[in-house]
Amino acid sequence: MSNNREFQLEFDVRQLKPEEIHVKSIGNQQEKQKNKTNDMVKNFQRDGTISWPNSVNDARLMDNFSVNSPFQQNVSENRKFQLEFDTHRFNPNRIHTESFGNQLFAQSMQQGQNKMNDMATDLQRAGTSSRLGTVEDFPLTDDLKDFNPVQEDSYGNKRFQQVFDTRRCKPDDIIIRTSGNMLVVYCKPPEMDAEEFRRFGKQMVDYVADYLENIRDRKPFPDVSPGYLKELIPDKAPDEAEQWPDVMKDIERVIMPGVTHWHSPQFHAYFPTANSYPAIVADILSDAIGCIGFSWASSPACTELEMVVLDWLAKMLELPDCFLHSSEGHGGGVIQGTASEATLVALLSARTQRLHQILGDKFSHSPDEGIISKMVAYCSAQAHSSVERAALIGAVKVRLLETDEKFSLRGETLQRAIEKDREAGLIPFFLCATLGTTSVCSFDNVLELGTVCEKEGLWMHIDAAYAGSAFICPEFRPLLNGVEHAMSFNFNPHKWLQVNFDCSAMWVKDSRLLSDAFNVDPLYLKHDNQGAIPDFRHWHIPLGRRFRSLKLWFVLRLFGIKGLQERIRKDVKLAHQFEELAKADQRFEIFGEVVLGLVCFRIKGSNEVNERLLKTINDDRRIHLVPSKVNDTFFLRFAVCASRTESKDVKFAWEVIQELTEKISDEKK
């Protein structure tokens, strides 16, 4: 080995008689010559090694520690010191172990007899300790393919010897277990140190890279039933620490069978969830730093990098300067966990602003419930369900307004709703406009809606969770016209901008309105630089916050604006490819307009036949889709989700859909 300290000797007695073998340790060298067996034992003992006459039975001098050497395996692991004996030719009571220095030996004794309890005594005597209480039942292992130190000697008998490097194992952590013909000796693993983190971290990086590069080989949707996982793992946590290799093996055995593979090119459900190697690497660093960036003082870099990259992103979208930290006003961006959080923050801030306007000097965060119960928010009937949930949390009413033939909310519709509610004694205060609805990826008319909101004094929040990433491309930016009327704007880089979950970017024109709604400032959170720079704990619901700007910074630098634009355009092109395939088949129709990476389609006919097609597709499991329903029309959604999706994947998906459509047609006949 590299430190020239550990070695194992094996002898082929067919070429040399045991009594003629002499082994001597001289510095870092080993010599062998003819001599008496007894001299060999004396030399081993003298030079810091121990052996027994009866162990000289087998094989050859080992100086290369090949793959088949169990010694090599144990030294490389340095944590799991396991010895397994197939002792069906020997009495278990004749298994003997001893220790010398940092080496642990075990062998089958063909002469003499050592009780199992003597094993622990031998370990203690030789400078290593074991506990008698650890000699307990251990499952008999029949299959020793992965770890098999058993060897045939020249006499056709069995020889069982193992050497353990115990320098990293505290004496009290050596555990010996036996059952029937099986003996197991191992070291209870301590906490993972830096050296092991490097080794195991590399294993995990390799696993992740292999997983993502070969993800096409996995079915996108799992074939398991509810409760599958609890049958695969114990019902309580282990009392003793387990080994990293055992945990690693359980990823495939326990976790992967129940994983929905969102990054599979055959996954076309919901909307994309972004992923990239730069973002994954950045999250490793973020988790290592482990700061809880609720204020500037809690981690200056966490706050300041977030301010910078949110300004970068705002400029990529060409948002008005009033949304920038670098502007002269009070605007700026902040990373929320999800678009749902951003909507909730905007609604609660708008509610607080309106309460100030109504109550003036009598303002309270706990006003008369009669006032709040009269407050009403608005959104499209196609808006995300998080708007309704935000209204529930805020204890206000919400109106779902009808859309036009393109499923877009228009200014006239909002104006009529406001007038009607005011006549009923209600208090309109908030609108959530959507750019890229979940059901059909439709776009509310923000320019018209913003004009109405400014005139009527409503806070307009824009939810562009999915579509917002596309606005970095000039050809899609007109969909954002009217953003200057918004009080807040949000989209999710973790959907379509190569940044893994969670990273939801939100900008506000006046951050003081957020702080007014959420400012709770106990003494232990105060610091000397308050007011000079944002404390983002006042900009959202949680106090604690991760260093999420790191992954956005890594992605923006390692892809560049042009690289990100190319990926957006590629996915839109693939969606139009699927649209053309569907249009070419007279059995199908497109539902709505294909603008970005979502295609809504259906079989011409009843809702029931489309429901049957969807079930057949997902039961088949080669691709995965989800449905939606608008104006009582059921349809299927094909979303280009994975960044690795290519033209061949679109063709494959369409061929599967055609094949299964014919199948249900034949069944109907």
Decide if 95 contacts 109 (C-beta within 8 A): yes
DSSP summary character for residue 241: P
Side-by-side strand order, sheet with 626-630: 588-590, 598-603, 633-639, 626-630
Contacts of 344 (CB under 8 A, 6+ apart): 386, 389, 390, 393, 394, 541
Q: For 416-450, give one letter per residue: b (16+ CB within 10 A) or e.
A: ebbeebeeeebbbbbbbbbbbbbbbbbbbbbebbb
Q: Is the dihedral of CA 338, 342, 347, 348 positive or negative?
A: positive
**Is the model's pLDDT at 487 over the cut of 70?**
yes
User: Residue 200's pLDDT is what?
Assistant: 87
Q: What is the per-residue DSSP string for 327-373?
A: SSSS-EEEEES-HHHHHHHHHHHHHHHHHHHHHGGG--SS--HHHHT
> What is the CB-side half-sphere exposure of residue 613 using CA atoms within 13 A?
27
The pLDDT of residue 509 is 94
Q: Are 341 and 504 in contact (CB under 8 A)?
A: yes
pLDDT top residue among 533 and 623: 623
Cα separation, 434 vs 492, whole angstroms? 13
Mean pLDDT in residue range 543-553: 86
Predicted confidence (pLDDT) per residue in 399-429, tens digit: 999 999 999 999 999 999 999 999 999 999 9
- The mean pLDDT value of the chain amounts to 75
pLDDT category, 86, cuts 50, 70, 90? very low
When mean pLDDT is compared across 200-204, 512-516, 521-525, 546-550, the lowest value belongs to 521-525
Dihedral, 516, 522, 524, 525 alpha carbons, nearest 10: -10
CA atoms of 591 and 441, how far apart (whole Å):
11
Architecture in CATH for domain 194-271: Up-down Bundle (1.20)
For residue 491, which of 436, 572, 543 has the smallest C-alpha distance? Answer: 436
Which residues lie closer than 8 Å to 573 by C-beta, 6 or more apart?
Answer: none
> Tokens for 655?
């061929």
Q: Which range has highest mean pLDDT (9-13, 117-121, 627-631)?
A: 627-631
Architecture of domain 291-546: 3-Layer(aba) Sandwich (3.40)
What is the chain's length? 669
Q: How far apart are CA 162 and CA 83, in angstroms?
A: 7
The band of 606, judged by pLDDT with boundaries at 50, 70 and 90, is: very high
Mean local confidence (pLDDT), 218-245: 87
pLDDT digits (tens, 9 = 90+) for 250-286: 999 999 999 999 999 999 998 888 889 999 999 998 8
> Given this model, what pLDDT does residue 360 score?
80
Identify the pLDDT of residue 133: 28
pLDDT of res. 296: 63
Q: What band does 520 get if pLDDT is binned at 50, 70 and 90? A: low
Residue type (1 letter), 452: V
CATH of domain 562-668: 3.90.1150.10
Whether residue 600 has pLDDT greater than 90: yes
For residue 170, the model assigns a pLDDT of 56
Between 550 and 70, the more confident residue is 550
Q: What is the mean pLDDT of residues 621-636?
A: 94
Q: Which pLDDT band, with edges at 50, 70 and 90, does 29 fall under?
A: very low
Least confident of 152-166, 341-355, 407-421: 152-166
Residue 635 three-state SS: strand
Compute the C-alpha angle 160/162/166, nearest 5°.
Answer: 155
Q: Is the pLDDT of residue 646 over 90?
A: yes
- Higher-pLDDT residue of 245 and 312 is 312
Over residues 347-369, mean pLDDT: 81
Residue ranges of domains in the chain: 18-187, 194-271, 291-546, 562-668
For residue 554, the model assigns a pLDDT of 93
Q: Edge-to-edge strands of the sheet including 459-463? A: 332-336, 504-508, 488-491, 459-463, 427-434, 375-380, 397-401
Q: Residue 531's pLDDT band (boundaries 50, 70, 90)?
A: low
For residue 619, the Cα-to-chain-centroid distance in whole angstroms is 26
Tens digits of per-residue pLDDT, 39-78? 333 332 323 333 333 332 222 222 222 323 333 223 323 3
Q: What is the pLDDT of residue 636?
A: 96
Who contacts 241 (Cβ-Cβ below 8 Å, separation ≥6)?
Answer: 188, 189, 190, 191
In the chain, % of residues over pLDDT 70: 68
Q: Going along 29-160, which residue ranges are E strands?
A: 29-33, 95-100, 103-108, 151-152, 158-159
Q: What is the mean pLDDT of residues 493-512?
A: 92
Side-chain half-sphere exposure of 159, counting CA atoms within 13 A: 17
**For residue 187, what pLDDT is reported?**
57
Q: For residues 601 and 590, is the Cβ–Cβ distance under 8 A? A: yes
- Smallest CA-to-CA distance from 601 within 621, 622, 577 is with 577
Q: For residue 127, is pLDDT > 70? A: no
Helical H runs in 457-596? Answer: 493-496, 511-518, 549-584
Helix (H, G, I), strand (E, B) or coil at 164: strand
Which of the residue ranges 85-94, 488-497, 505-514 has the most confident prediction, judged by mean pLDDT?
488-497
Cα distance between residue 37 and residue 52, in whole Å = 9
**In the prediction, which pLDDT does 367 show?**
66
pLDDT of residue 246: 84
Q: Before 502, cis peptide (omega within 30)?
A: yes
- Residue 505 is given by DSSP the state E
